[in-house]
Structures are given as structure tokens and as C-alpha cells.
Structure 1
Amino acid sequence: MDDRLGPIPFAQMSASQQLAAQAVIDGPRGALYGPFVPLIRSPELMSAAQKMGEYLRYRSAIGTRLTELAILVTARHWNQQVEWAIHAPIARDFGIAEEVIAAIAVRRRPAALLADEAVVYEFCVQLHQQQRVDDTTYAAALAAFGEHGVVDLMGINGYYTFLAMVMNAAQTAVPTSSTAPLPA
């Protein structure tokens, strides 16, 4: 598949694109990559999205380890290779077990989940597959993370779904990764 909305050289960007791109480059991401490559075509949308993403990825109320787990469940649901290539190594670095990552990759419920990971996994799977979360799972998430954490968990699922849709439609090129691609 060809990258439909590939990189635009910085010098060829409009002033508003350069401003939006520079904000991403100057932030914690340090570069314009992944979903921001196609999104730069809409600098205002990209700016709004990157601000939300910066909060959800780096400062969510559930912490980085569980955020990365939620991102992996979302990437798997959407068959999103870019998200998987970027976030599987990060999840591993923040303590998500290799067996958990491997199980998610093949759409199996991981057997080795920690208690908080099991809550996040079940919440995310239900939200993606059933478009809702049952009362038992919601209560477990509320007990584990409070209302702030539950809302952030919903936001992580929605934000990374948005990015997956953008990259799937744009056929964004998959970066080199230390993690195998998602199986078909």
C-alpha cells in the first residue's frame, strides 16, 4: 500500500502547517511522525488532536503503563500497524509483559494480566467490541481509577481510535519497530 498522505518537507508547508508541526516537534514527541504526517494537512485539527494526545499519552490519570496497554488494545481492534509498531515497545518498556503483548496481537485474552491491567483490558475490549461497558466492568474501573481515571480511559480509547482511522485511511507508512507487525 502506498502512503496516501506522506511527509511534506517543512520548507514546503504553509505557515500554519509549520507552526502546528513545530509545536509537535518542540513537545515530548520530538518529531512529526505517525498520525501527524497525514494530519498536518489540517493544521488546526492536528493542533487540537496533539494537545489531547499529549495529555492522554504522557499525563493520564491511569499512568503510562496502563495507557500503553489501552493503546495496544485499540491498535489491535483497528488493525493499526503504526500504533502497534510505536506503542508495543513503549508498553514493554513500561512493564507490560511480553506474553500480554503477544496475546493481544493474536486477539487472545492475556492470561498473565495484573489486576489493574485486567480492568483496563476488559474495559477497552468491551468498549471497542460492544460500544459500551457493562456495569461490573465499569464498577471495577471506577474502584481502581476513580471517575477521573475512567474518563481518561474512555478518552484514550477514543483518541487512539481517531488516530487509527486517520492512519488506516491515509495508509500511513509503518515505521521500523523492535516488535513484529500485527498478524492479519
Structure 2
Amino acid sequence: MTSDQTHSSAHENDLGGRFPLYDPASFSGSAKTLYDHAISTIVPEAHKAGFTAMLDDGRMIGPFNPMFASPDIATAMLGLQKAESGNTALGPATRQVVILSTGAVWRAPYELYAHTAEARMVGLSSETIEALIRGEPPPELGEADLTAQRFTLALVGRRQVEDDVFEATRRAFGEKGIFDMIILAGCYQIICSLLNALAITAPQDRGDGRL
């Protein structure tokens, strides 16, 4: 094995953080069902956006790997995320503003890595993404999305939303939009807490959905 191969193998072994990377050959029952779902949905979506969710040997990485420790609960959580993304009043760019603003508070490397790719795909510029990750208002962002950023940083960072921020958000997105924003931020707080508690890192990838 060359030194480059040794380094790559060592890096792959670090991607599970405090959990092992689970071998899909060992899956049965609900874990196998969850894995098949990931192969048909999560991996192609990651490929399309340009981030890695699965290694070449089929092992999942990021927040997806630890889901196999409790596949029934993980499946229910993914169901909530699917319901959110399929029924939200928020546009694609606004959703990424909320997700990256949540990541700005939690500093979870994989979440910021994956949603930098997702944000680029929906048209946010590199400068805008970098400002969102720093928790700063991007000059290029429209007023509604700046309001979404302020709301998310208040909710996630300070755990309180001031009256003026709330009313500005209601004017921009309505009551359904506020509810949807809270659920979206909550979903990604779960993801970020999982990533941070397990010390899961971001990969060094080739940008095609696999490492």
C-alpha cells in the first residue's frame, strides 16, 4: 500500500467519528430497509449536489452512518425531513439560508460541507455562503432571506426570538412560513447535535457524491 493509500484509508476510518462505519453487509430488517432507502434517495441527491454521502465500499458517512445504530427512529426522522421539504412554504434558497445559519451556530463540519454544496446548487454565491457560515449578513442577500437568517440565528443561537424579529419574519413569510422555518431549523439542530456529539468530520472528496 502506498503512503497516499494509507492516508486515504486512515481518513476514511476517521469519518465515523466516535462510532464505527457500519458495514452494509451486516444489515438486516429495518437497517437493510433504511440502507436501501439511502441508496435510492440520499446518495443520488448527494451526487447531484456534489457532496459525499457514501464511500466506494458502500459504507455511509456523515449523519447517515450513525442512523444505523437506531434505524427505526432514524427512518421516522427522515420521514419528518421529507414532509418538511415536500410541504414547506420556504423557497430553496431560503431553506439553505436557514440550514447554513443553523450550521453557523453549531459549527458541525459535515453539515456545513454538505450544505455549502446544496446552497451552490440553488444559486447562492460563494461569498454569500461564506458570510452565512460566519453568521454575518451577506450583502447580496434579499431582505426576506436576511430576515430568515436573523430569525434562525435568534432561535438557534440565543434560543429566543425578539418581537421585532418575529414580526418582520411574519410579514416576510406568514405564519406557515414561521412554523416551517422552526421545523427546518429543528431538524438540522438534531443533525448537528448528532455530528458534534460523535465528532464526525467532513470528507476530502472528489465532489461526485462518493469518496
TM range (shorter): 0.7 to 0.9
Partner of residue 9, structure 1 = 23
Partner of residue 198, structure 2 = 170
Residue 61 in 1 paired to residue 64 in 2? no
The separation in 2 between residues aligned to 1:61 and 1:12, in whole angstroms, is 40
Partner of residue 182, structure 1 = none
The separation in 2 between residues aligned to 1:84 and 1:59, in whole angstroms, is 24
Partner of residue 70, structure 2 = 42
* Pair 114,33 (structure 1): closer, same or farther in 2 beyond 3 Å: same
Residue 129 in 1 paired to residue 157 in 2? yes
Shift of 1:23: 2.2
1:19 corresponds, among 13, 30, 33, to 33
Maintained 8 Å contact 2:128/2:141: yes
The separation in 1 between residues aligned to 2:97 and 2:206, in whole angstroms, is 17
Q: Give per-residue Cα distances to partners, 1:69-121, cap 9 Å, x unaligned.
A: 11111111101110111101211221223222122233333233211111111
Maintained 8 Å contact 1:100/1:110: yes
The separation in 2 between residues aligned to 1:6 and 1:111, in whole angstroms, is 42
The separation in 1 between residues aligned to 2:204 and 2:87, in whole angstroms, is 26
Q: Which amino acid is the alignment partner of residue 5 of structure 1?
A: F
2:167 corresponds, among 128, 131, 139, to 139
Residue 98 in 1 paired to residue 119 in 2? no
The separation in 2 between residues aligned to 1:9 and 1:139, in whole angstroms, is 49
Partner of residue 80, structure 1 = 108
Which of 116-125 and 58-67 deviates more? 58-67
Question: What is the aligned-residue RMSD (CA, Å)?
Answer: 2.3
Maintained 8 Å contact 2:137/2:146: no
Taking structure 2 as the reference length, what is the TM-score of the superposition?
0.76
Taking structure 1 as the reference length, what is the TM-score of the superposition?
0.86
Give the paired residue count.
179
Partner of residue 57, structure 2 = none
* Pair 29,61 (structure 1): closer, same or farther in 2 beyond 3 Å: farther
Q: Which amino acid is the alignment partner of residue 23 of structure 2?
A: P
Maintained 8 Å contact 1:85/1:177: no
Q: Percent identity?
A: 26
SS at match of 1:35: helix
Structure 1 segments unaligned to the other structure (5+ residues): 180-184
Partner of residue 70, structure 1 = 98
